[in-house]
Structure 1
Amino acid sequence: MTQRVCLVSPKPPILQRARQLKLDVVCVYTPEEFRTLPLDALEGETCLVLRHREDPRSMVEAVRALQAQAPFAAVFTVQEEAVIPAALLNDALGLNGVHWDTVALLTDKWRMRQHTAEQGVSTVRAAIGTTLADITEFGTTVGYPLIAKPVGGSASLGVHKIEDAAQAKGVHAALVELGLDCFLLEEYLEGPEISVDALSANGRHVVIAIADKITGSGFMEYGHSIPAALDASLEAEVARTVGEFLDSMGLRDGLSHTEMKLTPTGPKVVEGHNRRGGDRINTMTELVYGIDLEGTGLAQAVGKFEPLTERPTAKCGAAVAFFEAEPGRLVAIEGAEEVRNHPAIREFHLQFEVGKVLPPVRWSPDRAGFLVVTAETGEAASALARSLAARVRFVTEPVEARGEELQRQRDLLTELDQAGYVGALDANR
């Protein structure tokens, strides 16, 4: 009997994986998502196009009606913007997978910090702020530097490091300008940053990929390499901390992506997600470990994959490097073809064509493109990726500022505000 799966906000790659598993697919999209799909992306799948953020009950009832006709084996997504509707459907349809309580903790960073403090798991001092006085009081109590960022969001948008009290006023003004009348304050965590992708089944968490991370200004991510250069004892401590964190969140099944800092007092969780990592981590994990996170996560959700019992062994190293470019009108791209043809290149992508205006890099999609390479180790791959990326030069010319950048950032913050979505749903549950 053909199994049926409900995919929330699926992009073409996950649709292709569902076809390979011979699943009967029902897709749930917003109108905006549906309009951006390539014309050939859908091949006979049933699609529900709904404004589920504005009216989640209509989404639940529409999918429930289809469930009554033929049962779903699972609801599945790998998109950050879809984890909340997927959890609502899991609850409503009585399916396994991640449920509302867990997703609410993972998408509302203040809720997460309060919960981990109560549980005594990877505790980080934090507070909610609304005023300049809140920032300076937190700085006086906890010490500088500190972090101010949106309570909900992703893609490194709106994150500020405040070095001392003298910077507080400027950062507060920037937060207010972005429309953030409420923000999260956290102690700054010293140390290198990593991310951990795991697959859980019945409460057993198996770490698959640990990635070293390279960040630039504004905490923007400009590179990742797998496997991370950790000794065995630190790797075990990271895996233990991730497991404790996922247990505290109530995540028992499915994919997870946990961002961490390796502080002098041990690994600390920055934030977590019940999805696979972005920034080509899925591609690199398949290159290094032979495991496609998206396909494996979907296969496990519908019972077509035997759960992992131990971490796989790396067969090589892989890295992604993102191109850096000055804002302005793109006049020329130099060195791209030479780098594209390098034998270590596994993926190469340019985000903008000549003639387009490159925006200031405020969040991940603003980056000018990327390349993925393989090498003997993660460290070697990282060095090679950065060297090759530096050979690609984006020649830009200044353009007149149009006053649209601020509104663009405000719109993005609203779009990415999962915490606000959680709060609105809480009020109506």
Structure 2
Amino acid sequence: MSLLLLGPTDDYLRKVMAVAPSVIVLTEPHRLTPWQRTAPCEIHLADFNDIPGLLFKATVIDASAPLRAVLSFTELGTVPAAIIGRVLGIVAPPLHASLVTRDKLLTREALREHGLTQVAFFERQTGTCATALHNEGGDTLVVKPVDGTGSHDVQRVEPGASVTLAANRRYIVETWVPGREFSCETFSIAGAHHLLAVTEKRLGGLSGLVELGHVVDPDSSGLSTNQWRYISRCLDAIGLSDGPGHLEFKVDGEAIEIIECHNRPGGDRIWHLVEIATGFDMVSAHARLLLGEPVKVAIARRGCAAIRYFDFPAGTVRSIHLPENRASHVHWLEMKLAPGDRIEGMTDSFHRHGGIIVSAPDRPLLDERLNLEIDHIEVIVAP
């Protein structure tokens, strides 16, 4: 029997193919990569927004090659995977947790119902035309699409200021949460939650809210007993009982407040940082868990790791020079620019230009290596 994998990146597909006897991919045309076209597995195409069409495609696949489980590690695939699992009666991520974490308003309501948030919030739905939102109160607000991803269309609104909301969208408007921003990766088995790592965030871009980098350093970041108890209660509140969790939160002293919850590994290749720093592969572990294999969460302290996404000034790229040889502590390096490309200001995660992952046994050496590697990357941009 096969595992159906929805919308995978190449990294996710390689990992799942390494642990599952048979993998079938169901993805969207624009997600299909050149490597996936030649990968040794079945590939089927569908529109994830067309649920009836997606279900029809899944039933056809199941009729010709019986499915044992369905899974997705990507944001837009979590709910479709859960729906397919429910309809076909096969193992899948739970539908309730998938729906709650995919909708930021449902997430906040679930947290409020269990007394786990102090954030005031309300919904604002726009019509066929763009709509202005004016902050008439005394608190700073944050406005985001309830189903948004990658920091797209997230806006901070100071008291007395106004922002424009796009047409035909649902937004959640929340009071701004003070403090430093982190995320944590978790893995749950039969309702028992395990903390894998805490990730420090580096924010920037035009809005100051786009994630430009992450650091996993077990020696400098962690959770107190009370903070971990709070995170565990949040996992229970959203209904996450099995598999990976990614929770974004802010810490102000001992106070902690959830920003978002997800029943998947963190984006921005955070799963890679966690694997480097702890040795635990949450992607492969989730596939094995759904296939009924025994999974044990064992954490090894292997140092720390960081990812930095490139943030170049606006202008036209004149030239690019990358190091010819890659050091062993560089685990990933991607440059998406070429001479002649026009760079605009970064507004969300979809407009990044590449990045780099570096590891080290301790934080001072990590910072030194990261800065050194970035210094070796030369991109000349003319206004």
- When the two structures are superposed, what TM-score results if normalisation uses the length of structure 1? 0.80
In structure 1, what is the equivalent of residue 362 of structure 2? 377
SS in 1 for 2:381: strand
Deviation at residue 391 of structure 1 after TM alignment: 5.4
In structure 1, what is the equivalent of residue 266 of structure 2? 277
Q: Within 5 Å, which residues of 2 pair with 1:227-266? A: 227=217, 234-264=223-253, 266=255
8 Å CA contact 2:143, 2:172 repeated in 1: yes
Percent sequence identity over aligned pairs: 23
Q: 1:19 aligns with which of 17, 20, 28?
A: 17
CA distance, structure 1, for counterparts of residue 155 and residue 219 of structure 2: 27
Equivalent residue pairs, number: 377
Q: 2:312 aligns with which of 316, 321, 325?
A: 325
Between structures 1 and 2, the one with greater helix share: 1
What whole-Å deviation, never above 9, does each CA across 1:97-138 have from its counterpart, x for those lacking one? 32332222111111221221122123421112358886434x
SS in 2 for 1:114: helix
In structure 2, what is the equivalent of residue 53 of structure 1? 49
SS in 2 for 1:121: coil
Alignment CA distance shift 1:106-1:354 (3 Å): same
Q: Within 5 Å, which residues of 2 pair with 1:55-204? A: 56-68=51-63, 71-129=66-124, 135-137=134-136, 140=137, 143-165=138-160, 168-169=161-162, 172=163, 175-176=164-165, 178-179=166-167, 182-204=170-192
Alignment CA distance shift 1:82-1:266 (3 Å): same
What whole-Å deviation, never above 9, does each CA across 1:171-195 have from its counterpart, x for those lacking one? x2xx33x436542211111111111
CA distance, structure 1, for counterparts of residue 212 and residue 375 of structure 2: 12
Give the AA of the match of 1:254. G
Alignment CA distance shift 1:42-1:194 (3 Å): same
CA distance, structure 1, for counterparts of residue 334 and residue 105 of structure 2: 36
8 Å CA contact 2:75, 2:102 repeated in 1: no
CA distance, structure 2, for counterparts of residue 160 and residue 229 of structure 1: 33
8 Å CA contact 2:212, 2:310 repeated in 1: yes
In structure 1, what is the equivalent of residue 213 of structure 2? 223
SS in 1 for 2:299: coil
Alignment CA distance shift 1:266-1:313 (3 Å): farther
1:288 aligns with 2:283: no
CA distance, structure 2, for counterparts of residue 284 and residue 323 of structure 1: 17
CA distance, structure 2, for counterparts of residue 250 and residue 352 of structure 1: 41
CA RMSD of aligned residues (A): 2.6
- When the two structures are superposed, what TM-score results if normalisation uses the length of structure 2? 0.89
What whole-Å deviation, never above 9, does each CA across 1:341-391 have from its counterpart, x for those lacking one? 456323222121222222321221322221111122346524642454355
Which structure 1 residue ranges, 5 or more long, are not aligned? Answer: 399-429
Q: 2:5 aligns with which of 7, 21, 33?
A: 7
CA distance, structure 1, for counterparts of residue 364 and residue 227 of structure 2: 19
CA distance, structure 1, for counterparts of residue 191 and residue 155 of structure 2: 35
In structure 1, what is the equivalent of residue 198 of structure 2? 210
CA distance, structure 2, for counterparts of residue 12 and residue 383 of structure 1: 30
Moved more, 121-130 or 218-227: 121-130
8 Å CA contact 1:149, 1:185 repeated in 2: yes
In structure 2, what is the equivalent of residue 424 of structure 1? none
What whole-Å deviation, never above 9, does each CA across 1:264-289 have from its counterpart, x for those lacking one? 45221110111111222122112111
8 Å CA contact 2:135, 2:158 repeated in 1: no
In structure 1, what is the equivalent of residue 290 of structure 2? 301
Alignment CA distance shift 1:282-1:382 (3 Å): farther
CA distance, structure 1, for counterparts of residue 354 and residue 46 of structure 2: 32
8 Å CA contact 2:200, 2:221 repeated in 1: no
In structure 2, what is the equivalent of residue 414 of structure 1? none
CA distance, structure 2, for counterparts of residue 220 and residue 228 of structure 1: 24
